């Protein structure tokens, strides 16, 4: 029987190395899955990172994975490696709550292409991670239980909406976490929890198509403790899909190779606030400025600049709320008392919008995409803070901008790149005086995840973060 120390060592071994060890028969998928489940049992009560732990199913998958290894069967790139799925995504025969009390007992009968691809790669789905209701907040707060807490300080929140995924990866209770990002939901918790999260270009990873269509801003993403792990997970998830008409039609590049290649000389812009004139924690400003200097020291041309977009809070609120109102409207009428306050606010906002307001928003979006596209004619990358603050105390929300249902005071720098579709990563770049992680956002040209990954990996090599572990680990 493995000891806690042995389980911890396995838990913080990079996912790509775990996959190599399994292929080389140096590690049993059963041993690895048992180790992760033991750590979930020990640590999840402190974090509430998982809403559902699929222990029996995971062990069944692990036994099948081990049999395939021993029999010389087909071995996928994530064969035998446990992954978590964010509880916004349906998983066949596994509870999917959407972070909502209304869906607390829903067991889907089908699942989308992305989840199917993870299964086909040999990944073991170990559970469903915590999320705010329908992903509508930057903190994980819902009616299903306690807050999802930050492993660096459990009095602080983990960020949202992929807070469970980020907290789980940071605490070593899952090697890889599947996330999604409609306004920063991969990058915000990655920043707060000190892990690497990459929002790929819009359409890089297929989404499940519903009768009302697909979200025009949301991406399905990887979270890992290091860049190469996230690249490996993205490689499995990405690629065209005939079901999702918004998907990028070209085959994806080699993301894993990109994470190991040298970064050529770049022209890089950096900005402390994207020109939004929002207050940013001075310690975050200093860490991001130092990160920009690190790229300059590596030989890149780095200068202060940002696209002249103006803030995009109201635009995002209008377009996001109106799209989700299409299918969530019945909940506002039939289950108003079972919804979180932020969900009701979003749906009530949408209900009050005029057609002219929504049409004006789409016109503004076209201009925004043009401005950002023009900006990246002059620059290869843009650096800025991922968030304006480090992880806030649980129960605290920021307000005061946009239509009032999103905490834009805390997280003003992410949603613009959901609207434009550009790839953007959150890279750990330091710690506050309170010991809380700080994230650097690296933004690239549309469809150019390769450069974002290379830059992230180069920064990781210069300023490594994977040897740092949170208090709850």
Q: Is position 377 within any domain? A: yes
Give residue 397's pLDDT.
80
The tokens describing 267, both together, are: 């022209």
Residue 86 a catalytic site member:
yes
If you compute the radius of gyration of the chain from its CA atoms, what whole number of angstroms results? 21
Give residue 4's pLDDT.
92
Residue 213 has pLDDT above 70, yes or no: no
Number of independent structural domains in the chain: 1
Strand partners, 384: 441
Residue 192 has pLDDT above 80, yes or no: yes
- Each residue's pLDDT tens digit, 424-462: 999 999 999 999 999 999 999 999 999 999 999 999 999
The tokens describing 145, both together, are: 């239980």
Give residue 215's pLDDT.
86
Residue 294 has pLDDT above 90, yes or no: yes
In the block, residue with structure tokens 């009530």? 348
Instruction: In whole angstroms, give the CA distance from residue 64 to residue 29.
Output: 9
The pLDDT of 404-429, averaged and rounded, is 95
Please say whether the beta carbons of 443 and 381 come within 8 A. Answer: yes
The pLDDT of 74-95, averaged and rounded, is 97
Please say whether the beta carbons of 417 and 181 come within 8 A. Answer: no
Instruction: In whole angstroms, give the CA distance from residue 48 to residue 384.
Output: 30
Catalytic residue among 28, 34, 86, 207: 86
Please say whether the beta carbons of 388 and 409 come within 8 A. Answer: yes
In this prediction the pTM is 0.98
User: Where does the pLDDT of residue 407 fall: very low under 50, low under 70, confident under 90, or very high at 90 and above?
Assistant: confident
Residue 208 has pLDDT above 90, yes or no: no
Instruction: In whole angstroms, give the CA distance from residue 223 to residue 186.
Output: 7
Instruction: In whole angstroms, give the CA distance from residue 454 to residue 449.
Output: 9
Residue 215 a catalytic site member:
no
Instruction: In whole angstroms, give the CA distance from residue 137 to residue 139.
Output: 5
143-152, 180-189, 218-227, 397-406: the lowest-pLDDT one: 397-406
Q: What is the CATH number of the domain that holds 105?
A: 3.90.1300.10
- Each residue's pLDDT tens digit, 355-365: 999 999 999 99
Q: Is position 166 within any domain? A: yes
Range of the domain at 328: 4-462
In the block, residue with structure tokens 């409609």? 182
The tokens describing 380, both together, are: 């290869």
Q: Is position 470 within any domain? A: no
- CA torsion 170-171-175-178 (nearest 10°) is -60
Q: Is position 431 within any domain? A: yes
- Mean of the per-residue pLDDT values for the chain? 96
Residue 251 has pLDDT above 90, yes or no: yes
Catalytic residue among 158, 162, 185, 191: 185
% of the chain with per-residue pLDDT over 90: 93
The pLDDT of 329-338, averaged and rounded, is 96
Q: Is position 472 within any domain? A: no
Give residue 212's pLDDT.
60
The pLDDT of 234-242, averaged and rounded, is 96
Catalytic residue among 84, 121, 158, 161: 161
Q: Is position 468 within any domain? A: no
Residue 322 a catalytic site member:
no
Q: Work out the number of other CB atoms within 10 angstroms of the CB of residue 395.
A: 10
């Amino acid at each position: 029987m493995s000891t806690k120390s042995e389980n911890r060592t396995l838990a913080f071994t990079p996912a790509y190395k775990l996959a190599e060890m399994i292929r080389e028969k140096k590690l049993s998928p059963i041993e690895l899955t048992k180790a992760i489940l033991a750590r979930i049992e020990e640590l999840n009560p402190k974090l509430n990172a998982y809403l559902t732990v699929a222990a029996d199913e995971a062990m069944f998958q692990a036994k099948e994975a081990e049999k395939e290894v021993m029999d010389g069967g087909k071995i996928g790139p994530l064969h035998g490696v446990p992954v978590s799925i964010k509880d916004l995504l349906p998983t066949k025969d596994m509870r999917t709550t959407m972070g909502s009390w209304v869906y607390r007992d829903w067991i889907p009968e089908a699942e989308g292409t992305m989840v199917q691809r993870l299964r086909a790669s040999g990944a073991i789905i170990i559970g469903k991670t915590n999320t705010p209701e329908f992903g509508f907040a930057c903190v994980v707060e819902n009616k299903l239980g306690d807050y999802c807490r930050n492993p660096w300080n459990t009095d602080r929140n983990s960020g949202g909406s992929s807070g469970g995924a980020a907290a789980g990866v940071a605490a070593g209770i899952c090697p890889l976490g599947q996330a999604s990002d409609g306004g920063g939901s991969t990058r915000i918790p990655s920043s707060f929890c000190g892990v690497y999260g990459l929002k790929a270009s819009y359409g890089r990873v297929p989404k499940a198509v519903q009768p009302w269509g697909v979200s025009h801003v949301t991406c399905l993403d990887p979270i890992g403790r290091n860049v190469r792990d996230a690249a490996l997970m993205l490689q499995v998830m990405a690629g065209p899909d005939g079901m999702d008409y918004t998907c990028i039609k070209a085959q994806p590049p080699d993301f894993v190779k990109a994470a190991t290649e040298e970064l050529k000389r770049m022209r890089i812009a950096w900005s402390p606030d994207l020109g939004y004139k929002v207050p940013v924690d001075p310690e975050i400003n200093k860490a991001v400025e130092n990160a920009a200097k690190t790229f300059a020291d590596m030989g890149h041309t780095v200068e202060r600049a940002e696209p002249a977009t103006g803030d995009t809070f109201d635009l995002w609120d209008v377009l996001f709320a109106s799209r989700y109102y299409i299918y969530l409207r019945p909940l506002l009428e039939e289950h108003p008392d079972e919804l979180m306050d932020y969900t009701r606010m979003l749906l009530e906002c949408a209900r009050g919008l005029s057609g002219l307001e929504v049409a004006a928003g789409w016109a503004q979006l076209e201009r925004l995409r043009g401005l950002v596209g023009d900006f990246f004619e002059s620059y290869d990358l843009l650096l800025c803070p991922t968030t304006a603050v480090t992880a806030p105390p649980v129960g605290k929300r920021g307000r005061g901008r946009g239509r009032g249902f999103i905490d834009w005071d805390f997280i003003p720098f992410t949603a613009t790149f959901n609207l434009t579709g550009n790839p953007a990563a959150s890279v750990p770049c330091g710690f506050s005086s309170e010991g809380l992680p700080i994230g650097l956002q690296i933004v690239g040209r549309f469809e150019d995840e390769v450069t974002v990954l290379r830059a992230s990996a180069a920064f990781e090599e210069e300023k490594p973060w994977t040897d740092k572990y949170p208090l709850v680990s």
